[in-house]
Structure 1
Amino acid sequence: MDTVRTFIVEDNPAIREALADTLREVARVDPVGQAETELEGIRWLTSNLSQWDLAVVDLFLKDGTGFSVLEACRNREPTQKMVVLSNHLTPETRRKCTQLGADAVFDKATEIDDLVDFCLRCRQEQFVASSPSPL
């Protein structure tokens, strides 16, 4: 498999669509779904464990928080990655995200390129993992 199946938890529809389009075009990921609330995100991610490789989660949602989404997905496969993309990051919130299981934390305003790089690395790791071993 050489695509990263990505689920987006973001309450702003314009940002959600722009993010899906950007990640599809630039990072070559496959957006497999989206949610705008904590409950929708938790429900989909925990009910479809074999259907996603990467979740991109905003911290402050229409209803609930990304912190709860991170916590609900702590017991996932090691190959499944959770990243936070938010406008409201402080050193304390970054630390809390990491403690709750985030693999990376990105600022929406200044670190989109870093998110794209992370997605490309995930894609490369999947490609290497799925390649047959040389004899």
Structure 2
Amino acid sequence: MPETRTYHGQCHCGAVRYTATTDLGSLMDCNCSRCRRLGWVMQSVPAENFELLSGADKLVDYRFNTKAIQHLFCRDCGIESFARGQDREGRELVMINVNALDDAPAVDRATIMHWNGAEA
């Protein structure tokens, strides 16, 4: 089982920076029209394990489909390094883009969960 630790993430230009404490044990990708184009590798993190360090004023919100997920991207470089939403029980969570972490291990996409968002 992966080790729980605090990871550091950022957008491409570095204006948006955050930390997320997680074990990276439930990585997934999605084939919806948006995720497929972005190439996200996702990890769900309880909101209390996420801290936005800088760049709140740079974040732009984009919502589509059910409009339940707050896709937040940097207005300067355009990178979405995390999104905010709720799980099925209504708990606040942050979905981090593992590809935006500074110190994440390499990901083998053949070993992660694949969400069929195209049909959801």
- Name the larger-Rg structure: 1
Q: TM-score, normalised by structure 1?
A: 0.23
- Normalised by the length of structure 2, the TM-score is 0.25
